[in-house]
């Protein structure tokens, strides 16, 4: 089973940097980074799990292509930067687009506040938590620069996907019941 994750948010919030931090455990500052195929493995609830992740970097400006990514994804990390108020406001736009494309509000979604390490925080954690509570989704503060909670954000999204699929099915398929998160095959794109 493949779990397809989409990392979305305004330009410059650190989407690519989060993926590179997860995959290579290093920090990059190149905002024009092109993510190639990666096949990282993370552990979710004690079980190994590989992911297929798509970075929307730059594709938000191409509506038909961005729509394809939203249709493709099983779960979504929506990232804003704590030093950029507009990126926080834009979360509403991204979520509305996602709901419109998926035609449901029942979508595995994690709200991610990046750059938790910066001194000039303009969006307090309280605001992020309030938005997440309103959306009824998990909220995670991360720092691609230091690595703070980056893996945890992806783990939370995997848990959300698993939880929502289990709700939709009413139970877990037999082959997933003994595998914790139930993930077998995934890759990063």
What is residue 130's predicted lDDT score, i.e. its pLDDT?
Answer: 98
Residue 56: what pLDDT? Answer: 83
Residue 174 within any structural domain of the chain: no
77 within some domain: yes
Establish if 185 belongs to a structural domain: no
Cα–Cα dist 128/153, whole Å: 14
Between 30 and 96, whose confidence is greater? 96
Phi-psi region of 19 (alpha: psi -120 to 50; beta: other; left: phi over 0): alpha
Residue 105 is part of which domain span?
A: 4-150
CA distances from 51 to 1, 68, 100 (A): 10, 19, 25
Q: What is the pLDDT of residue 110?
A: 98
Write the pLDDT tens digit of every residue in 143-165.
999 999 999 999 999 999 999 98
Whether the per-residue pLDDT at 2 is higher than 80: the answer is: no
Within a domain: residue 76? yes
Taking the CA atoms of residue 91, residue 94, residue 97 and residue 103 in that order, the dihedral angle to the nearest 10 degrees is: -70
Q: What is the DSSP letter of 59?
A: G
Residue 168 in domain: no
pLDDT at 186 exceeding the cut of 80: no
Judge whether 75 lies within some domain.
Answer: yes
For 112-146, the pLDDT digits (tens) are: 999 999 999 999 999 999 999 999 999 999 999 99
**Res. 175 pLDDT band, cuts 50 70 90:** very low
Q: What are phi and psi of 43, to 5 degrees?
A: -110, 125
Residue 81 lies in a domain: yes
pLDDT for the residue 69: 86
In a domain, 58, yes or no: yes
Looking up residue 80, the CATH number of its domain turns out to be 3.40.50.300
User: CA 157, CA 133: separation in Å to the nearest integer?
Assistant: 16
CB-based burial of residue 182 (10 Å sphere; 0-12 exposed, 13-18 middle, 19+ buried)? buried
Count of the separate structural domains present in the chain: 1
Contact 55, 35 (CB under 8 A): yes
Higher pLDDT, 59 or 183: 59
If one compares 69 and 18, the residue with the highest pLDDT of the two is: 18
Count of CA atoms in the C-beta half-sphere (13 A) of 59: 19
Q: Residue 172, Cα to own-chain centre: how many angstroms?
A: 23
Report the number of secondary-structure helices (H) and strands (E) in the chain.
6, 7
Cα distance between residue 19 and residue 111, in whole Å: 15
At residue 138, the pLDDT reads 98
Q: Which helix (H) or strand (E) holds 76?
A: strand 75-81
Q: Which of the four pLDDT bands, split at 50, 70 and 90, describes residue 174?
A: very low
Q: What is the C-alpha to C-alpha distance for residues 160 and 41, in angstroms, rounded to an integer?
A: 18
Tens digit of each residue's pLDDT (9 = 90 or more) over 27-82? 987 655 555 445 677 889 998 787 999 888 766 656 778 888 899 999 999 999 99
* pLDDT at site 57: 72
């Amino acid at each position: 089973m493949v779990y397809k994750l989409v990392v979305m948010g305004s330009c410059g919030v650190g989407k690519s940097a989060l993926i590179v931090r997860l995959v290579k455990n290093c920090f990059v500052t190149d905002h024009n980074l092109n993510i190639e195929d990666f096949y990282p493995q993370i552990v979710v609830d004690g079980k190994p799990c590989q992911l297929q992740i798509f970075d929307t970097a730059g594709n938000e400006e191409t509506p038909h292509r961005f729509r394809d990514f939203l249709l493709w994804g099983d779960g979504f990390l929506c990232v804003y930067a704590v030093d950029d108020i507009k990126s926080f406001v834009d979360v509403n736009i991204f979520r509305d687009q996602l709901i419109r494309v998926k035609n449901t509000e029942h979508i595995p979604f994690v709200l991610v506040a990046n750059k938790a390490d910066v001194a000039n925080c303009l969006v307090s954690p309280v605001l992020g938590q309030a938005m997440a509570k309103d959306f009824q989704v998990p909220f995670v503060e991360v720092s691609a620069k230091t690595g703070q909670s980056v893996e945890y954000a992806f783990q939370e999204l995997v848990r959300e996907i698993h939880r929502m699929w289990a709700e939709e099915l009413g139970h877990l398929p037999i082959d997933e019941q003994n595998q914790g998160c139930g993930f077998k095959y995934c890759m990063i794109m």
